[in-house]
Structure 1
């Protein structure tokens, strides 16, 4: 995702420290204890870290207010945080002029937000809005799934001084089991391969599969032998037939018994009890009508959410199209009459007005960006309401049909009806119970078929995400890029030729030699090897996150002291060493120079493929002519420094 850190501001009343960065390679070089390493902690603190890890001392004593400005596409996201506070400012700007002469006064009319609220709003502007990653609604949010957080991409951005050549760990925050698991779980979402709709479909599929499994188990449990059912039904119905003075064929089939149990012979007409049945039927019909109205409203809401989600997926491209349509080509500075060749200032003034209006429209388009919101929870609630209403309507319809059948029955005499009423009712109820026990769900094949078809429809929708295929392609691309970069760095010959492979499901890195032996990072045995693996891995991720259009991970990498593997050997004595050693260059210095050469080359490669430069910020002791063009600040104990 195209992104960069534009500014860092530190405030102490009217005093301000301002660091300005650009896309591409940015280097801050200088002595120890000048504030270089604190830069990475300040950025982390402003990116919604739960607590401050800014080194205690001069910087924390001086600074009252920390602020960073991120440029995401064409928007500027201003994030400011007080010292030792969870109160934040979060503001979206389009005009870069607001950053000129930037001071605390800027926040005077802005509202403070809670850290979590500010983080949620920031995530929406990145296009990250998934509130629930559970695949089973019955799982506990605290231990499984839960909200996706932008903090999960922090391990891909920061390489601290104690980590950049660590032989035991690659990633920042991975010493915490929960944070490690959260980063791995959230990665597919941060890459744009999964979204809120995906997890909503997963939960619904799990729910429907459980429903189907429960129904099948109940059906199997309650199913009885067909012959036993025929015997039980015959015994129950024959008692009623005997009461009526009729014979029931002893050879009657099970199928006919089932039909007969639903339409027993008539008893007696003009029953007093039947006088209330039409009124009851009317009430039930009215209730069915109201339930159907509710169902229509719920289904309309579900369709509306689906339509809105569909529109939101495509709004980014639509905004680009509208922006292109709104753009006005630059005109010449002067406009002349074609007849007399006199300058026509009135037309030029009108064109300027139109251009200003047009620019305002373009700015409004830019403010929209990739803002997204998760509606899966609302969709899940509405689906439950829909299913419950369908069940209630079906139950009421069955009840109405039974009453209607009773009303239409003709009875022979009041006396026979009064005598047979209780027995007839009991016989019907007994027969219905027996049949229901026999085939509670299997008897209604349409319900099973509808549920199975819906499950297949959900599976089809999920297959459209092609998650496994995307993951495999990314692994291949990432591993090839890591291996390519590693071959350019200082990697021991005994491990060559080899290949890095990174497993994106387990977040495990292995190094293979001729595809015969897997070597772990801790087994490589040299600081230069560990550094090469770290740089290769994180430049590989930077490449992957930049070339993947759907990625929501900012194309930013911050490295702290990559040269430390080659020094504390005294730095800056290249000319003296050349004179003393017959112009032989110090290999350590050459390797440091090569690091910056590789960094610059990868930035150029990404720019050629993506059309933008990723941002790499390096905090370093080294300062050589070959990479002086990338040095933004030179700090020293006696001269300028962070504070």
Structure 2
């Protein structure tokens, strides 16, 4: 089986509700108006797959507590849970769907290699092991004999599976313009395609390590199984049945207790004292509610102030741009109409713009500091908001307890009722404790099952590695052959899209990057053409993972594929393209846009024919008109700022977005 990773559900656990996006195998489309949280979906997926940080919009900060991602890796289901406000906290992984986490013990992983204190190791190692990818150290400078080695991370591999909005069509795709670091990226490319000089010896070592790990797991499983037999642990089905029975008994007892309480009358010597406590707790809750409202008001004010700062920053930057574009006016010399002498008309200092650049720079720096400070205040208020909510919940729990005591005191004179009530409460407590013990036993049994599942996974991994090793020994791939095949796939993609002048198309033997019309990708001036090439390049790598058993997760995320294709180009990206070249290329031709989507659909259809896993997630502002009906079936999220046709307003669908 070819290794794969498939995204199932993104779950943002919120203050008011959970925000969920579901995905399927094959092509998944996310589109809608600008600034509705479309790109945030891919950013959250990337963050939950180990990215070091994530930028949070105001509506996210005010609405979301933490994030979770359901994935399928090599036929095994996992739920990844991560704190979105503290990226250095451990990442939790449950081997079950999100809703069943209560019955499983989580594994805690460090988000990066700099933290050695995680109970279960590094998150990157978990993903590499789950995908059955060799864990290696690659040379930083492969041409140097004394080159240092750097540990390969899953983050290095995902560069070939995720193109964010900034990198889409950028000259620095995969860090190409940073040649010192790009040398290591080339080694990652070789690793993906199994053409490293040390591949055979590395796989032999991996097989040896995994066999040792498998033997240790078998011993551990035997010891755990023996312990569970000796201590009389029930099987998982028996425990599940017992928990279900406890729930039925618990509900029945609560109904009986509620009926009994309804029939009692209030009368107690201590009633007034408890009533006083009840009033005190009520007052405290009201004060907390008022504080929460004040915090929400402050947060809204700070968010508006932050937006004002951002607008002022944009204005100052616009002034700088105007100075650069317009420049300073010159003094004018002319003949005096009376005496014919030459006179000079001076325009004074500053030209068109009277503000001095130094003053503007100081104001810009001050505004940026204030914007950062106000952002920190917003996050602090959000934290304070959560603390107050927790206090409110605790006080409400205390209030409920006092209410129960008031009822008890009020009904004390009814002895028969009290005796029956106490008996019911004892039974309820007993059932609750029994259920807690059963859930604890279920977690232990599930951990035992995880050991067995991991044994099977390791056995399969070893068999796959042995097959790969034998294949490498007999048919070791050559880098020239791989680049030639990749170039052929790129040619097919660009032909399907129908770019102009489809000549000189190949993959560079020096940079492993695309070449079109005998020009390196990073030397092409048309941003639209670079966008098409970058999509084609990444899609070709995905297609080669369908054909061959390479170290690729067989999923691809593309953010804003219409970035340079005449689809509302953002100002900040305008300087990275040559508009005249874009016009010459016919980039805004709707047919090219349609053909890109058709090419992606063809890849997923090809994977289906080859019975190979494959998932593509595309984010864009809109989709080609001619394909809109066809793409509806595979659209997983569609947002409208104005809620047209009843569409949700954005990823966080119960707030008002600021556009």
- For normalisation by structure 2, the TM-score amounts to 0.50
2:22 aligned residue = 20
Local SS of the residue matching 2:82: strand
Is the 1:128–1:150 Cα contact (8 Å) retained in structure 2? no
1:631 and 2:628 correspond: no
1:152 aligned residue = 156
1:227 aligned residue = none
Once structures 1 and 2 are overlaid, which stretch shifts more, 63-72 or 466-475? 466-475
Q: Structure 2 vs 1, CA of residues 370 and 628 (structure 1 numbering), >3 Å: closer, same or farther?
A: farther
1:113 aligned residue = 109
Is the 1:190–1:552 Cα contact (8 Å) retained in structure 2? yes
**Distance in 1 between residues matched to 2:460 and 2:589, nearest whole Å:** 48
Deviation at 1:368, TM superposition (A): 3.5
Deviation at 1:484, TM superposition (A): 0.6
**Distance in 1 between residues matched to 2:126 and 2:475, nearest whole Å:** 27
**2:499 pairs with one of 491, 498, 504:** 491
Deviation at 1:370, TM superposition (A): 5.4
2:531 aligned residue = 531
1:508 and 2:498 correspond: no
Q: Structure 2 vs 1, CA of residues 153 and 536 (structure 1 numbering), >3 Å: closer, same or farther?
A: same
Deviation at 1:38, TM superposition (A): 1.1
Is the 2:125–2:135 Cα contact (8 Å) retained in structure 1? no
1:11 aligned residue = 13
1:123 aligned residue = 128
Is the 1:69–1:77 Cα contact (8 Å) retained in structure 2? yes
Q: Structure 2 vs 1, CA of residues 192 and 124 (structure 1 numbering), >3 Å: closer, same or farther?
A: farther
**Distance in 2 between residues matched to 1:555 and 1:201, nearest whole Å:** 21
1:170 aligned residue = 173
1:188 and 2:184 correspond: no
1:368 and 2:456 correspond: yes
Greater Cα radius of gyration, structure 1 or 2 = 1
**Distance in 1 between residues matched to 2:487 and 2:506, nearest whole Å:** 5
**Distance in 2 between residues matched to 1:92 and 1:131, nearest whole Å:** 26
Deviation at 1:591, TM superposition (A): 2.9
Structure 1 residues 412-427: aligned runs within 5 Å? none
Local SS of the residue matching 2:636: strand
Structure 1 residues 213-228: aligned runs within 5 Å? none
Q: Structure 2 vs 1, CA of residues 4 and 373 (structure 1 numbering), >3 Å: closer, same or farther?
A: closer
1:281 aligned residue = none
Deviation at 1:367, TM superposition (A): 7.0
Local SS of the residue matching 1:481: helix
Deviation at 1:372, TM superposition (A): 9.8
Once structures 1 and 2 are overlaid, which stretch shifts more, 38-47 or 173-182? 173-182
Deviation at 1:178, TM superposition (A): 6.0
**Distance in 2 between residues matched to 1:590 and 1:526, nearest whole Å:** 18
**Distance in 1 between residues matched to 2:454 and 2:106, nearest whole Å:** 21
1:70 and 2:74 correspond: no
Structure 1 residues 157-306: aligned runs within 5 Å? 157-166=161-170, 168-171=171-174, 173-174=175-176, 179-193=181-195, 198=200, 305=208
2:60 aligned residue = 59
**Distance in 2 between residues matched to 1:43 and 1:485, nearest whole Å:** 27
1:471 aligned residue = 479
1:554 aligned residue = 553
2:594 aligned residue = 593
**Distance in 2 between residues matched to 1:463 and 1:42, nearest whole Å:** 38
Structure 2: 5+ residue runs without aligned partners?
113-121, 216-447, 463-468, 570-586, 653-659
Q: Structure 2 vs 1, CA of residues 546 and 369 (structure 1 numbering), >3 Å: closer, same or farther?
A: farther
Structure 1 residues 27-42: aligned runs within 5 Å? 27-42=29-44
Local SS of the residue matching 2:505: strand
**Distance in 2 between residues matched to 1:307 and 1:591, nearest whole Å:** 48
- For normalisation by structure 1, the TM-score amounts to 0.51
**Distance in 1 between residues matched to 2:545 and 2:483, nearest whole Å:** 12
Q: Structure 2 vs 1, CA of residues 77 and 175 (structure 1 numbering), >3 Å: closer, same or farther?
A: farther
Q: Structure 2 vs 1, CA of residues 369 and 504 (structure 1 numbering), >3 Å: closer, same or farther?
A: farther
**Distance in 1 between residues matched to 2:140 and 2:166, nearest whole Å:** 37
Deviation at 1:488, TM superposition (A): 0.9
Structure 1: 5+ residue runs without aligned partners?
203-301, 313-359, 375-460, 513-517, 571-585
Is the 2:80–2:94 Cα contact (8 Å) retained in structure 1? no
Q: Structure 2 vs 1, CA of residues 615 and 467 (structure 1 numbering), >3 Å: closer, same or farther?
A: same
Taking only aligned residues, the RMSD between alpha carbons, in angstroms, comes to 4.2
Count, aligned residues: 375
Local SS of the residue matching 2:173: coil
Deviation at 1:49, TM superposition (A): 1.7
Deviation at 1:91, TM superposition (A): 2.9
